Amino acid sequence: MGIDKKLLDILCDPVTKVPVTVLPGKKLERLNGDIEKGEVRYVSGETVDRILEAGLITEDGKVIYRIDDDIPVMLEDMGIGTTQFENW
């Protein structure tokens, strides 16, 4: 189904208020590969233990948020910082 365009237009990072956009497929694949290897952590420090169905990324490319069952999980501690990845 995907995320509703009207909802996407109003969503933003809960900390920085930077707008978000849908995480592109290639980046989602790469992220999920790293998650399967146990190499990805949330901002809280916990290891991301399950792959993302879909994701949102801040327009500045710094934080990714998961989408579960077409519902964005926009919790500060559940953000995935992109500085943990090389050549992101």
pTM of the model: 0.93
CA distances from 28 to 15, 20, 57 (A): 22, 15, 10
Contact indicator for 51, 35 with CB cutoff of 8 Å:
yes
How confident is residue 2, by pLDDT bands cut at 50, 70 and 90? confident
pLDDT in tens, 49-71: 999 999 999 999 999 999 999 89
pLDDT, one tens digit per residue, over 9-44 is 999 999 999 999 999 999 999 999 999 999 999 999
Q: Is the pLDDT of residue 1 over 60?
A: no
The domain in which residue 54 lies consists of: 5-84
| Structural domain count, the chain | 1
